Copies of this chain bind each other. A is one copy, B any other.
Amino acid sequence: MADKIVPALIPEAGDGDSSAVDLSELRERIDGIDRHIQQLIAERARFAGQVGRAKGKLAAAVDYYRPEREAQVLRRVVDRNEGPLSDEVLVRLFREIMSACLAQQEPLKIGFLGPEGTHSQQAVFKHFGHSIHGLPLSSIEEVFQEVESGSADFGIVPVENSTQGTIQSTLDMFLTSSLKICGEVELRIHQHLLSRGGRIEDIERVYSHPQSFAQCKAWLRQYLPKAETIPVASNAEAARRARSADDAAAIAGASAANVYGLKIVAGPIEDRPDNTTRFLVLGRELFPTSGNDRTSLLVFINDQPGALHHVLAPFARHGLSMNRIESRPGHTGRWQYAFFIDVSGHVDEDAMRAAIDELAAFAREVKVLGSYPVAIA
């Protein structure tokens, strides 16, 4: 009986001896590389520890975390990359290495909109790596509060979903908060229509998560106006359901097609091709330029003819491109408006200083929400 069990054990034994020899040679080389990588990581950690001590005390991570420096390191990683790994994967590995080196004394405490497993947590890990202490909080307000009080070193809040637009509650917090934006994170989400047969004519039902339906609303209205839409708990669940019927489809990521043996009927089908959620990193201070930054401003003005022109003109004059503008009713008076503006550049640069000075001469108040590295990979 045991005979039946033990022999069929070793898949590699059947592969032939010649490839086995190559394999062990390859593996020896990989072992040598690993030894070397490990030495270098340890050395890097020691130097990073010295950076911490150069600040004159046994520093906690927050005392010497420098987002502009991390952005520079990661951009160099991307610039140098000649494969075979993708930029995205390499950036992730280096974020983890930096995260580990930084966390030697006391890791960064990062507040985010919980619970665990949300996109916000993904954004935390994407930006700060895993050597941090994550702090799941129950509202965007709380993320602001915990950073303000110092319970969290930084916070991450969603600010913009390319489908559903600006998350107003985040923007409104800046009207009164003294926190500074010191980073941005972008998470990209693609949706596909998947089915067993792969033919759109056969589809009478579509399964998906409600949020995914919202992201593909226009597409569904145009191409499957008669199909029944059935909300389920996750896109994976949707794909599994679609597998068991010829007239059903799922909206899910492309990888689910592989996993569930479905065909891609169409995709990407999200209404906005750049279907991303953008997050902001909140901190208590501004950081120096990384060389490729964005500045977020909040401009309070009195309502008067040509107000918008007055807001826009200084940036155009100084050759600064505006990425986004959004007006909100002000909070301190009836005749005021507030504009949230994102501009390319850093407040530490001459052109930006000059533009802000000109704007300040006209506006009731100009608040620099932050100057921070443009999101990487």
Contact = CB atoms under 8 A, between A and B. Distances in A.
Interface of A: 1-3, 5-6, 8-12, 15, 19, 22-23, 26-27, 29-31, 33-38, 40-51, 54-56, 66, 69, 73, 76-77, 80-85, 89-90, 92-94, 96-97, 100-101, 103-104, 106, 109, 114-118, 121, 130-131, 133, 135-138, 151-152, 233-234, 236-237, 255, 258-261, 285-288, 347-348, 353, 356-357, 359-360, 363, 365-368, 371
Contact of A26 (B54, B81, B135, B151): B54
Given A92-B130, A363-B1, A366-B5, A136 B234 contact: yes
Contacts of A138: 233, 237
A365 B5 CA distance: 11
Contacts of A3: 357, 360
B38 A50 contact: no
A288 B131 CA distance: 33
Number of copies: 2
25 contacts: A2-B366, A6-B353, A6-B356, A10-B348, A12-B66, A22-B50, A30-B48, A33-B43, A34-B73, A34-B94, A35-B80, A37-B37, A38-B90, A42-B85, A46-B84, A92-B96, A93-B93, A93-B96, A114-B236, A115-B117, A116-B117, A135-B259, A136-B236, A138-B233, A151-B261
Contacts of A76: 31, 34-35
A81 to B, nearest CB: 8
